[in-house]
Amino acid sequence: MTGRPALEIRGLTVALPGTGDVLRDVDLTVAAGECLAVVGESGAGKSVLARTLLGLTQDDRHARVIARTFEVAGRDVRTLPRRDWRALRGVDVSLVLQDALQSLDPLRTTEAEVGETLAIRRVPAHERRTRVLEALHAAGLPDAAARLRQRSDDLSGGMRQRVLIASALVGGAPLLVADEPTTALDSTVAARILDLLGRLRDEGRSLVLITHDLDVVARVADRVAVLDQGRIVETGPVAEVLGSARHVVTRALIAAAPHGPKATAPAGPGPELITARDLVRRYRAPGGGSVAAVDGVGVSVHAGETVGIVGESGSGKSTLARLLVGAERPDEGTVSTSAPPPRIRLIPQDPFATFDPRWTVGRILRTSTRTADTPEALLAQVGLAADLVRRRPATLSGGQRQRVAIARALAADPDLLICDEPVSALDVTTQAGILDLLVRLQADRGLAVVFISHDLAVVRKVSDRVIVMRDGRIVEEGATERVFAAPEHPFTRELIRAGGGG
């Protein structure tokens, strides 16, 4: 345990059938009690790396995994047979997946899931229960005994993640591999999970933390390795790599991560375009009764300004967007517009769902055009090549689809754009491109924009004013920089602290 690295890899190359080389000549070392973060965008090979560290990739007969050195907990695993890998998993090295509703078997109880590592090794039932409770406690799950009989859909996202971590701890593994453990969580919950991981590291465990989010790296990791297209392009202590990155990919990642205030100065707000007052929208709650998704919210948007709306899931921000754009009617309150009424267009979170699957990009754009612009001209305005007009949205990347959605909105010559989490599903570098595009378009055309997101750093980068929502109500609003510099409401402070200011 002392001195010997928990993980030592030199020259790891992984080739998968149909995809070719996914990892090329990767070197990684993790010392005992150290947290190494592996950063990269989607497609870099992070998930394959996580699975290879558990020997799961090697289970596939057609996968080729070779390395000069590959030692897990001091053991050479290069040619380890499947049965021996199974003995290692959960006890010498364990995996924590991203919280998806299906990361835990939804048909089994928490106790069964967390205790599975032990059950496989025929640990007797009463001892299993004791150790399960210990692991749940170590993972910080409140009221663990009551949770034993519950299943994954009885738990919130944060609790599920803790259960996942507990199931990785119960076998006493000294090395934990965590694959995007906080990506699906609200920022406040994610912050607490990261604190937990930091504590586990402090207690002597080694951690391989795989993520695309540099903020996560800064919070918990000791060292970081940057993965790009299967290769490690840079490694080093976190402060060094993030502070003075050497490789161009690392620098691009750092530059793309949103931080800091909006680049362009706000033009003086123009005439009022749309004003909502005392909006209330209720839904029937699953257990009976009604829940107010939006509870007494008022907002007004002027020409030429960007209003950012930030909140966690369930805060009501998406419902507010739908009320403003007219997709739903409020149960109480009014939405009044200027005369003549402004043309409002929506940039949705998932543009793919708003494209008719049978239509080409060209047809989509032509149908929405109210101006004399040709589809090709519209594509040029959003930075896409003209030959995309013949393609179908299913063949485009996430970033391209979002740009097409923006082009479609622009085709109508809008006065107001309502963007509902437009970049949440995109890679950091793609995200940066879309944000720059939106800021530029607004400056060029004097558009008004309502920008909704859970990511505070992103909102800060594009908004002149910001509104913070929680549980259907507005808890704080004001000029963006003022709110960041001197937040008044405790929830706003918690959000900023959870990592979203940069």
Partner 1 sequence: MRIARWALARIGSALLVVWVVTTIVFFALRASGDPLEAILGGPGSQAGEEAVAVARETYGLDQPLLWQYLLLLGRVGTLQLGDSYARRQPVIDLIAAQLPSTLLLATLALALAWALALCGAIIARTSRGPAGRAVTASLRGAEIVATVMPQFWLGAVLILVFASTLGVLPATSSGADPAGLVLPVVTLAIPIAGFLAQIMRDSLAEADAAPFAVTARARGASDTRLLLHHTLRHASLPALALSGWAYGSLLSGAVVVETLFARPGLGRLLIDGAMQRDVPLVIGAVVVVALVYVVVLVIGDALELLVDPRLRRRTRTIVRQADVAVGA
Partner 2 sequence: MSNPVAAPSLRAAFARLRPAGVVALVVVLAILVAAVWPGLIAPGDPLAIAPTDALAPPSLAHLFGTDESGRDIFTRVVHGTAPSVGIGLAATGIGIGAGLVLGFASGLGPKALDAALGRVIEVLFALPTLVMALLLVAVMGPGTGAAVLAIGAATAPGYARILRARVRAVAGSGYVEYARLEGTRRTRVFLRHIAPNTLWPLVGVATLGIGQAIVWVSALSFLGFGTLPPSPEWGAMLNAGRVYISTAWWMTIFPGLAIVVTATALTVLGRTAAGGGRR
Query: 444 by DSSP, 3-state: which?
Result: helix
Query: 241 by DSSP, 3-state: which?
Result: helix
Per-residue binder mask for partner 2 (CB under 8 A), 274-313, x = binder:
----------------------------------------
Which contiguous run of DSSP H or E holds residue 16? strand 7-16
Q: How far is the CB of 368 from partner 2 (least distance, A)?
A: 6
| Residue 45 in contact with partner 1, rule: CB under 8 A | no
Is there a contact between 170 and 131 (Cβ–Cβ < 8 Å)?
yes
CB contact set of 18 (below 8 Å; sequence gap of 6+): none
Is there a contact between 146 and 138 (Cβ–Cβ < 8 Å)?
no
The binder of 51, among partner 2, partner 1, none, by C-beta within 5 to 8 A per type, is: partner 1
The binder of 346, among partner 1, partner 2, none, by C-beta within 5 to 8 A per type, is: partner 2
The binder of 348, among partner 1, partner 2, none, by C-beta within 5 to 8 A per type, is: partner 2
CB atoms within 10 A of CB 254: 17
The single residue among 85, 355, 484, 491 that binds partner 2, judged by CB under 8 A, is 355
| Residue 127 in contact with partner 2, rule: CB under 8 A | no
The single residue among 61, 83, 126, 358 that binds partner 2, judged by CB under 8 A, is 358
Q: Which is nearer to partner 2, 188 or 368 (CB)?
A: 368
Which residue carries 């199974």 as its tokens?
86
The single residue among 10, 24, 129, 151 that binds partner 1, judged by CB under 8 A, is 151
Q: Which is nearer to partner 2, 82 or 358 (CB)?
A: 358
Q: Which of 41, 16, 49 shows the shortest CA–CA distance to 208?
A: 49
User: Rounded to whole angstroms, how far apart are CA atoms 173 and 94?
Assistant: 6
Hey, which residues does 314 pair with through a beta bridge? Answer: none
Which residue carries 């540099």 as its tokens?
214
The binder of 394, among partner 2, partner 1, none, by C-beta within 5 to 8 A per type, is: partner 2
| Residue 17 in contact with partner 1, rule: CB under 8 A | no
Q: Which is nearer to partner 2, 268 or 357 (CB)?
A: 357
| Residue 352 in contact with partner 2, rule: CB under 8 A | yes
Is there a contact between 364 and 356 (Cβ–Cβ < 8 Å)?
yes
Residue type, position 203, single letter: E
Site for partner 1 in 78-137 (CB under 8 A): 86-91, 94-95, 97-98, 100, 102-108, 113, 116-117, 120-121
The single residue among 350, 471, 481, 494 that binds partner 2, judged by CB under 8 A, is 350
Q: Which of 64, 54, 56, 162 shows the shortest CA–CA distance to 113?
A: 162
| Residue 6 in contact with partner 1, rule: CB under 8 A | no
| Residue 61 in contact with partner 1, rule: CB under 8 A | yes
CB contact set of 288 (below 8 Å; sequence gap of 6+): none
Site for partner 1 in 277-316 (CB under 8 A): 286
Is there a contact between 206 and 174 (Cβ–Cβ < 8 Å)?
yes
Which residue carries 């990009």 as its tokens?
361
For residue 490 the two structure tokens come to 């405790």
Q: How far is the CB of 84 from partner 1 (least distance, A)?
A: 11
Residue type, position 157, single letter: G
Query: For residues 423, 427, 429 and 435, what is the CA-based torsion angle, rounded to 10 degrees?
Result: 0
Per-residue binder mask for partner 2 (CB under 8 A), 366-395, x = binder:
-xx-----------------------x-x-
Helices (H), 30-124: 46-53, 82-88, 110-114, 116-120
Q: How far is the CB of 350 from partner 2 (least distance, A)?
A: 7
| Residue 424 in contact with partner 2, rule: CB under 8 A | no
Q: How far is the CB of 482 from partner 1 (least distance, A)?
A: 42
The single residue among 203, 357, 372, 444 that binds partner 2, judged by CB under 8 A, is 357
Is there a contact between 73 and 93 (Cβ–Cβ < 8 Å)?
yes
Tell me the CB-side half-sphere exposure of residue 409, using CA atoms within 13 A: 28
Residue count at the site for partner 2 (CB under 8 A)?
A: 19
Residue count at the site for partner 1 (CB under 8 A)?
A: 35
User: Rounded to whole angstroms, how far apart are CA atoms 346 and 87?
Assistant: 53
Which residue carries 């375009």 as its tokens?
273
Q: Which is nearer to partner 2, 102 or 244 (CB)?
A: 102
Hey, which residues does 465 pair with through a beta bridge? Answer: 307, 479
Q: How far is the CB of 357 from partner 2 (least distance, A)?
A: 4
Instruction: Name the residues that contact partner 2, by CB under 8 A.
Output: 325-327, 345-346, 348, 350, 352-358, 367-368, 392, 394, 412
Where on the chain is the footprint of partner 1 (CB under 8 A)? 51, 54, 56, 59, 61, 86-91, 94-95, 97-98, 100, 102-108, 113, 116-117, 120-121, 151, 153, 164, 167-168, 171, 286
